[in-house]
Amino acid sequence: MTLSQRRQDAQHDWWRGATIYQIYPRSFMDANQDGIGDLAGITEKLDHVASLNVDAIWLSPFFTSPMDDFGYDVADYRDVDPMFGSLNDFRALVDRAHALGLRVIIDQVLSHSSDQHVWFQESRQDRTNAKADWYVWGDPQPDGTPPNNWMAAFSGRAWTFDARRRQYYLHNFLESQPDLNFHHPDVQQAQLDNLRFWLELGVDGFRFDVVNYYFHDPALTDNPPMPRERVQLGNPQSYQFQRHNIEQPENLAYLERIRALLDEYPGSTTVGEIAGNDPLPTMAAYTAGDKRLHMAYTFDLLDSTGDARALHDVQARFAEQGDDTWPCWALSNHDVVRSATSWGEDHALLALTVLCSLRGSLCLYQGEELGLPEAELAYEDLQDPFGINLWPEVKGRDGCRTPMAWDEGTNGGFCPEAVAPWLPVDARHRPLAVAHQDADDDSLLARVRRLLQLRGASEVLRQGDQQLLEPSRLPVDVFGVIRTLGDQRLLCLAHLGRGNDAIDIDLATLDAGIEGWQSLELPGMTTPQAQGNRLSLLPGTAVWLVLG
């Protein structure tokens, strides 16, 4: 099928309620046996991804980069870094994914580039060159200090002095990741052109890194201090409320330009990462209507620990923003502790069952289907600058980025035994490997496949509205929603507590309209005991009830 034919036949809203599987290329599969994952390795293992009953893959960065931040420092937006392969390898990956019915979403890091990018190399030469204003430059204060008090995410000031220009440049992350100046129209257009390049190669959409970071306050106003009770003492940036370095009003207009471009490629989609101090309202604003992002996510759910009240509160705060929005919920990704650790390994399946009950699109992270816990690494094994700079208060992100476990060998089948992988394979991961779980029809992997198949086949779960059940109407440690589509209603309850004692729930107190119900068979969950409208629910289990 040609690109134009596929675009014409695409269901434009396939992404609404879809399940996306995130792949971290460095750690998925090493095909060329150098200890680093690559595009050919991903292509080799796409059958496994397709077997999960997901709709799309999201690839973290694979672009040309010095890898100071492992690809989130882009030196060439239109090429593949040689460690991952070539553009031909990428074309082969897209073709194989599409043949398996998987759409392909790729990362885009628009807010900042590598300091090795030709744009920055020209910009830093002097104040009069053609790209002099393509990055955010500021004059020193009279005492030589930086233009303002903004702090970077990876510790220290967000400004670095350049002797040639006698100015500071802004970097919200590493000093080797200078921020582009989106107030310059040529910068806006250049990044739109880069997006078009990948759309023409057949990608089905983009995940936008820190999508609320594109614009800054041109007056370079100081950020106010964060209330002390909200400060993370090991992270200097958390001492400030990020009011002026991110989330400027111009961002919305640029998102509309991005959406207009995507609309030229029917069936393509966008998902934005929203980081900041109050992200849920921003996520709602950025996905409102049909002229901005299709969907977005924050760290509110990613930072969850399986507490029923906290889970309710995240959903309630987002619901306050209105219905004209679309979230993409996840419990794990390349930036946070794996959900099998944050929720507890005994609740790995329960966590995904709760995730599948929520209104919105979903994202799973590689290895989540296996129940991989967060890897434990020694300081000398760390690669992530975030962890290296802030150790030991902040351990960084390497614990969730270790190689995928394909078999029970020393390197988990990720690379040959004689090759040292870029991060060590945690010994606890090997017994959870794909090959081992594939051989067991009742493994967590098998259960996750059935769970995602159930979610994917349910229009009420993919498309339906959501009514949150107030904690005051539920027993302690129970989370619940009612999903509705037309006359279809599905009650989803999960007992997130621990112990051995079941609790009784009177369904009539949850919704006066419940006149009868039928329990769906949830993978790995005990069939609920019921008497009339009273339901007995064990800790660590969930039920989905079709309501009459």
Q: How far apart are CA 411 and CA 404, in angstroms?
A: 9
> Is residue 423 within 8 Å of 403, Cβ to Cβ?
yes
Question: For residue 253, what pLDDT is reported?
Answer: 98
Every domain of the chain with CATH number 2.60.40.1180 lies at: 463-547
Those residues of the chain that have pLDDT short of 50 are: 1-10
Residue pair 492/546 in contact by the 8 Å Cβ criterion: no
The string of pLDDT tens digits covering residues 405-460 is 999 999 999 999 999 999 999 999 999 999 999 999 999 999 999 999 999 999 99
Distances (CA, A) of 189 to 182, 183, 218, 254, 474: 9, 11, 19, 10, 52
The residues of the chain that CATH labels 3.20.20.80 are 19-113+185-454
Which tens digit of pLDDT belongs to each residue from 27-51? 999 999 999 999 999 999 999 999 9
Which pLDDT tens digit goes with each residue over 304-350?
999 999 999 999 999 999 889 999 999 999 999 999 999 999 999 99
**Can you give the pLDDT at residue 7?**
45
DSSP per residue, 155-169: SSBSEEEETTTTEEE
Residue 47 has phi, psi (to 5 degrees) of -60, -35
Are 132 and 153 in contact, with CB atoms under 8 Å apart? no
Q: Look at domain 19-113+185-454 and name its CATH class.
A: alpha beta
Give CA 377 to chain center in angstroms: 22
Instruction: For domain 463-547, give the fold.
Output: Immunoglobulin-like (2.60.40)
Integer Cα distance of 63 and 72 in angstroms: 9
d(CA 177, CA 75): 10
Q: Which residues are catalytic?
A: 209, 264
Handedness of CA 384, 389, 391, 394 (dihedral sign): negative
Q: How far is CA 323 from CA 287, 465, 466, in A?
A: 10, 9, 10
Which pLDDT score, from 0 to 100, does residue 512 have? 64
Euclidean distance between the first and final Cα of the chain, in Å? 43
User: Both tokens of residue 522?
Assistant: 């949830």
Q: What is the arrangement of strands in the sheet containing 529-531, beginning at the earlier edge strand?
A: 503-506, 534-537, 529-531
